[in-house]
């Protein structure tokens, strides 16, 4: 009967020793073991990998959702009544959690370089590390549930972003799977065979096959011939340039025009005495000092104030005090003084600015509630303001597309996705749609039928580039100062041949691993010493033999793995 007793081997691995000590409280250099991982340790490793994948998706979501941070803060304000940047703590906690889990996962994969398993690294098999992983996982899950409740429609941005990032994510996935193939090959081609090995191999092959077939499902508008690229989409200043100045104010509209916006978009409400003014919220509480000027009416509908009361309110100090987009520090003293004295803007003022600058206007008109004295005459009030401003009616577009029979000379735009037949029946010529509600196929169909499409909100270069490649004629943006710096789509690709090089790489790793393991043979003590001298220098590895016990006359020694010595003892009866 042959018994094996492993001898300890010490190699100078400063980084791994440091990590093992910090996370696993293992500072003794002989505490590395060849023991197989227990089920509990394997379970923790699976939890760690699951946390990493979930956090990877969560981090990617917030990276692409940056386009809609303004809308997220507005939704939270409508629920809580407090306006602040709610995305900052979320992004900060996500960054910390992702960095922590990534570090643990990377250090866990260092372990197979020195032993057969990762069981005794310690970051997730000891109490402090376990609590950290569980806390991160539970925090992420609760964040996903909360976002789904408050901002459920935003998940669509993941699919939209794939139109821009899919080729690069595909390349990254191929590189990752190819790199992991070395570990898979080392596990599968071991001399001991088991059903688990075959299961791992089958799963890996299926994942690899899915990756190579994934490009068939891609819809990437920027994979195109450069000569087919359409003109740059026109930029519409959505409420002006609200990241640089208070929304729906004259300063904001001027800033938008200075940063390349060719049109202006505004939200229109009707005062109790029939004067159209610009206000996004139903109340004046967020963007004015109504709580100080009219303490008892701060929650009242803005349309129930008369124009004199509205005009007396300050509409700029809130921006300087709350700094909602972290841009106040970039303003000069003159800019701050001008912003601080802004009042609520009337529709006539904005249209006159558009007329002077030869710009167009897109109006989103909110009809007053039924108990409002101008509930029936709101349309005529708005039309009166357009005529008073002196702007050509063909340069004014408004939504919703109601009262079509009363609108003559004005352009009307629908805010919902319609078929070409419905568009012709309603007699409208343009659509204003959210970017998640329109596809590349829809855009091309509308273009073929001379229907103009404006997409909103477009605040990030990647989304602007994707819509540019799709052929969208105009976009509505909260950040015209960002989009003006995109003179060309951020990437164009003629074809995709990224996966060809890695097609045979996993097979190559497997063959190389099998060849390497085939060289492991049985040696006697003299061969072991010669091998240690010829193959490894003293500066690289210090082999310290803790036990070298000879008992009986049938002792043999086996050299296995990376220079590890096993003593084989043959019993006398054999």
pLDDT interval class at 112 (50, 70, 90): very low
Q: Tell me the two tokens of residue 204.
A: 């890996």
**Of 117 and 515, more confident:** 515
For residue 529, the Cα-to-chain-centroid distance in whole angstroms is 55
90 contacts 126 by C-beta, under 8 angstroms: no
Confidence check: pLDDT of 395 > 80: yes
The CA R_g of the chain, rounded to the nearest whole Å, is: 33
> Residue 238 pLDDT more than 60?
yes
How many structural domains compose the chain? 1
- 563 pLDDT higher than 50: no
| Token pair in block for residue 516 | 């390497």
Residue 330 resides in a domain: yes
Q: Tokens 């003794």 belong to which residue? A: 28
Whether 348 maps to a domain, the answer reads yes
State the number of CA atoms in the 13 A half-sphere of 353 facing the CB: 25
Query: In this structure, what token pair is assigned to residue 44?
Result: 């923790």
Q: Is the peptide bond before 400 cis (omega within 30 degrees of 0)?
A: yes
Contact 446, 473 (CB under 8 A): no
* Per-residue pLDDT at 196: 76
Reply yes or no on whether the pLDDT at 26 is more than 70: no
If DSSP codes are grouped into helix, strand and coil, which group holds residue 431? strand
Instruction: Answer whether 239's CB lies under 8 Å from 344's CB.
Output: no
- Cα separation of 66 and 463, whole Å? 11
Each residue's pLDDT tens digit, 326-378? 999 999 999 999 999 999 999 999 999 999 999 999 999 999 999 999 998 88
Spell out a b/e string for 553-571, using b for 16 or more CB atoms within 10 Å of the CB, else e: eeeebbbeeeeebbbebee
Q: How far is CA 548 from the centre of its chain?
A: 57
With cut-offs at 50, 70 and 90, classify the pLDDT of residue 191: low
Sign of CA dihedral 432, 344, 482, 73: negative
Q: What pLDDT score was predicted for residue 214?
A: 85
Range among 72-86, 231-245, 365-379, 428-442 with highest mean pLDDT value: 231-245
Structure tokens at 304: 């129930």
Question: Residue 549 — pLDDT band, cuts 50, 70, 90?
Answer: very low
* Long-range contacts (CB closer than 8 Å, 24 or more residues apart) made by 481-490: 481/241, 481/243, 481/244, 481/255, 481/259, 483/235, 483/260, 483/458, 483/459, 484/235, 484/259, 484/260, 485/461, 486/461, 487/232, 489/222, 489/229, 489/465, 490/461, 490/462, 490/465
Residues 6+ apart with CB under 8 A from 269: 276, 277, 278, 279, 302, 303, 366, 368
Determine the 3-state secondary structure of 159 from DSSP. Answer: helix
Q: For 323-395, where are the alpha helices, taking DSSP H only?
A: 333-340, 347-356, 378-389
pLDDT in tens, 28-39: 544 444 445 567
pLDDT surpasses 60 at 282: yes
CA distances from 525 to 3, 7, 520, 566 (A): 17, 14, 15, 11
Pairing of strands 396-399, 360-365: parallel
Q: State the pLDDT at residue 105.
A: 80
pLDDT at 125 over 50: no
Please give the C-alpha separations between residue 326 and each of 84, 85, 249, 319, 349, in angstroms, as whole numbers: 11, 9, 18, 10, 28
Secondary structure letter of residue 341 according to DSSP: T
H helix or E strand, kind and range, residue 565: strand 564-570
pLDDT of residue 548: 41
The residues facing 476 across adjacent strands are 236
Residue 297: inside a domain, yes or no? yes
Per the structure block, which two tokens stand in for 99? 């960095």
Statement: residue 201 has pLDDT above 60: yes
Which of 263-277, 368-382, 543-557 shows the highest mean pLDDT? Answer: 263-277
> Which two structure tokens, joined as six digits, stand for 19?
């990590």
Query: 69-78, 123-132, 449-458, 543-552 — which is least confidently predicted?
Result: 543-552
Q: Please report whether residue 77 resides in a domain.
A: no
Q: pLDDT, tens digit, for every residue of 399-424?
A: 876 665 565 667 888 888 999 899 88
Domain that holds residue 335: 234-485
Q: What is the dihedral of CA 519, 525, 530, 536, to 10 degrees?
A: 70
Of 174-188, 387-401, 469-483, where does mean pLDDT reach its minimum?
A: 174-188
* CATH, residue 315: 3.20.20.190
Contact 9, 544 (CB under 8 A): yes
| CB distance 523 to 559 below 8 Å | yes
416 φ/ψ angles, rounded to the nearest 5 degrees:
-135, 155
- Segment among 132-141, 184-193, 318-327 with least mean pLDDT: 184-193
Q: Is the pLDDT of residue 13 over 70?
A: no
Q: How confident is the model at residue 195 (pLDDT cuts 50, 70, 90)?
A: confident
CA angle 362, 366, 369 (to 5 degrees): 170
Mean predicted lDDT score pLDDT of the chain: 80
Model confidence pLDDT, tens digit, residues 240-263: 999 999 999 999 999 999 999 999
Please give the C-alpha separations between residue 387 and each of 114, 352, 383, 400, 554, in angstroms, as whole numbers.
80, 10, 6, 19, 109
Is the pLDDT score of 316 beyond 60? Answer: yes
- For 172-187, what is each residue's pLDDT tens digit? 888 888 887 877 777 7
The predicted pLDDT at position 197 comes to 79
In a domain, 146, yes or no: no
Strand ranges for 459-532 from DSSP E? 474-477
Contact 167, 221 (CB under 8 A): no
518 CB-contact burial (10 Å; exposed 0-12 / middle 13-18 / buried 19+): exposed
Tell me, what's the pLDDT at 219?
85
Is the pLDDT confidence value at 553 over 80? no
| 75 within a domain of the structure (yes/no) | no
Q: Using the structure block, give the residue that is written with the tokens 């590189």.
A: 175
pLDDT (0 to 100) of residue 62:
96
Residue where the block lists tokens 């916006």: 261
Please report the pLDDT score of residue 229 as a whole number.
92
CA distance 151 to 86: 13
Binned at pLDDT 50, 70 and 90, residue 495 comes out as low
pLDDT at position 199: 85
SS3 399: strand
494 assigned to some structural domain = no
Give the chain's end-to-end CA distance (angstroms, integer): 7
Q: Report how far residue 94's alpha carbon sits from residue 240's, in angstroms, rounded to the nearest whole number.
A: 31
**Per the domain annotation, does 253 fall within a domain?**
yes
């Amino acid at each position: 009967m042959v018994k094996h007793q492993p001898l300890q081997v010490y190699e100078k691995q400063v980084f791994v020793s440091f990590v093992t000590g910090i996370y696993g409280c293992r500072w003794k250099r002989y505490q590395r073991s060849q023991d197989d991982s227990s089920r509990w340790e394997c379970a923790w490793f699976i939890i760690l990998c699951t946390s990493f994948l979930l956090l990877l998706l969560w981090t990617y979501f917030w990276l692409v959702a940056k386009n809609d941070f303004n809308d997220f803060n507005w939704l939270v304000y409508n629920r809580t009544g407090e306006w602040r940047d709610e995305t900052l703590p979320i992004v900060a906690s996500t960054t910390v959690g992702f960095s922590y889990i990534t570090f643990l996962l990377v250090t866990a994969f260092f372990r197979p370089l020195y032993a057969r398993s990762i069981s005794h690294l310690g970051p997730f098999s000891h109490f402090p590390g376990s609590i950290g992983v569980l806390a991160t996982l539970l925090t992420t899950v609760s964040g996903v549930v909360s976002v789904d409740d408050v901002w459920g429609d935003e998940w669509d941005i993941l699919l939209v972003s794939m139109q821009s990032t899919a080729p690069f994510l595909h390349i990254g996935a191929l590189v990752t799977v190819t790199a992991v193939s070395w570990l898979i090959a080392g596990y599968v081609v071991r001399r001991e065979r088991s059903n688990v090995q075959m299961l791992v191999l089958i799963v890996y092959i299926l994942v690899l096959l899915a990756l190579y077939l994934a490009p068939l499902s891609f819809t990437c508008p920027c994979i195109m011939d450069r000569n087919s690229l359409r003109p740059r989409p026109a930029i519409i200043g959505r409420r002006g340039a609200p990241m640089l100045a208070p929304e729906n104010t004259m300063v904001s509209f001027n800033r938008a025009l200075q940063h390349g916006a060719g049109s202006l978009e505004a939200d229109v409400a009707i005062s109790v005495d029939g004067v159209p003014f610009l206000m996004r919220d139903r109340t004046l509480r967020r963007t004015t000092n109504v709580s100080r000027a009219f303490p008892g009416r701060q929650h009242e509908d803005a349309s129930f104030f008369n124009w004199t009361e509205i005009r007396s309110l300050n509409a700029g100090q809130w921006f300087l005090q709350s700094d909602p987009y972290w841009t106040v520090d970039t303003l000069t003293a003159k800019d701050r003084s001008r912003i601080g004295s802004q009042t609520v803007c009337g529709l006539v003022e904005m249209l006159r600015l558009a007329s002077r600058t030869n710009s167009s206007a897109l109006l989103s008109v909110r009809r007053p509630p039924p108990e409002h004295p101008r509930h029936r005459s709101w349309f005529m009030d708005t039309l009166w303001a357009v005529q008073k401003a002196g702007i050509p009616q063909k340069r004014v577009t408004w939504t919703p597309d109601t009262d079509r029979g009363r609108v003559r000379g004005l352009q009307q735009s629908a805010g919902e996705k319609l078929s070409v037949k419905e568009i012709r029946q309603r007699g409208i010529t343009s659509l204003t749609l959210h970017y998640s509600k329109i596809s590349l196929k829809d855009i091309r169909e509308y273009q073929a039928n001379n229907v103009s499409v404006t997409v909103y909100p477009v605040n990030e270069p990647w989304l602007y580039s994707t819509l540019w490649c799709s052929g969208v004629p105009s976009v509505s943006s909260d950040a015209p100062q960002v989009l003006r710096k995109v003179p060309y789509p951020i990437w164009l690709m003629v074809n995709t041949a990224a996966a060809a090089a890695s097609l045979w790489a996993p097979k190559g790793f497997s063959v190389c691993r099998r060849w390497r393991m085939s060289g492991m043979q049985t040696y006697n003590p003299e061969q072991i010493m010669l091998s240690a001298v010829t193959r490894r220098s003293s500066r690289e590895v210090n082999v310290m033999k803790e036990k070298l016990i000879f008992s009986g006359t049938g002792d043999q020694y086996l050299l296995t793995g990376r220079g590890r010595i096993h003593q084989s003892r043959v019993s006398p009866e054999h």
